[in-house]
Amino acid sequence: MAKLYFYYSSMNAGKSTTLLQSSYNYRERGMNTLVLTPELDNRVEVGTVSSRIGLTAEATTFTTADNLLAIVEDSVADQPLHCLLIDEAQFLVREQVQQLGNIADDLGIPVLCYGLRTDFQGQLFEGSQHLLAWADNLVEIKTICHCGSKATMVLRLDGQGRVVKQGAQIKIGGNESYQAVCRKHFKLGMATRDHAELPFDDAPDPHHKHEQDQDQDQPA
């Protein structure tokens, strides 16, 4: 039985790299994949999935108005499809997550979604909220905070590297706009006075090494 997977993380954990590797693994075995990416993600080039380590692949773009089931059915009409992969899945809407469930259940095609869990205010994105509820398998892709602890949150920064606390949930950006942090440093960053610089210079948490020793999963 095909399943719906949600691979979630903070920023800079290697989500796109993992997606591209998964697609390559299928194609290396002679299987067909379809990669979808939001049209609004124009950090590199619209219609391209790009990783920080230089891997890229062409992708089909979608908007929140698109029926993803219909897109896949059109693709299957041309050739067999063995896996559907979604980049930046946090930008999906509720109906699209349901459509992905139908693709797995009714068409028998595995669906692999990769995205952020929460936004810069610690709130769930719509797509992530419904994937957490509907996915068969939830997989955390780990990365680390500057202090060495596991990063689970993200802070938005302005052009001077200062914490932004208010604004639209969706703002496309990369390392210049977002910083992956642990919960402790997320709270410290959000608790600073308006436009205060994030305290990145504090000493590493002496307990984080013990935490890592207890956690057998290595950060991505």
Higher pLDDT, 202 or 19: 19
Entry pTM: 0.82
pLDDT bracket for residue 208 (50, 70, 90):
very low
- Catalytic one of 28, 39, 73, 88: 88
d(CA 212, CA 165): 30
Average pLDDT over residues 129-143: 96
Higher pLDDT, 174 or 115: 115
Span 52-82, pLDDT tens digits: 767 778 899 999 999 999 999 999 998 999 9
Q: Which two tokens stand for residue 164?
A: 């932004």
Domains of the chain: 4-140 (3.40.50.300)
Q: Give the burial class of 68: count Cβ atoms within 10 A of its Cβ; 0-12 exposed, 13-18 middle, 19 or more buried.
A: buried
The percentage of residues in the chain with a pLDDT greater than 70, rounded to a whole number, is 77
Span 89-103, pLDDT tens digits: 999 999 999 999 999
Rama region for 89: left / alpha / beta (φ>0; ψ in -120 to 50; rest): alpha
Greatest extent of the chain over all pairs of C-alpha atoms, in Å: 57
Q: Can 88 be counted among the known catalytic residues?
A: yes
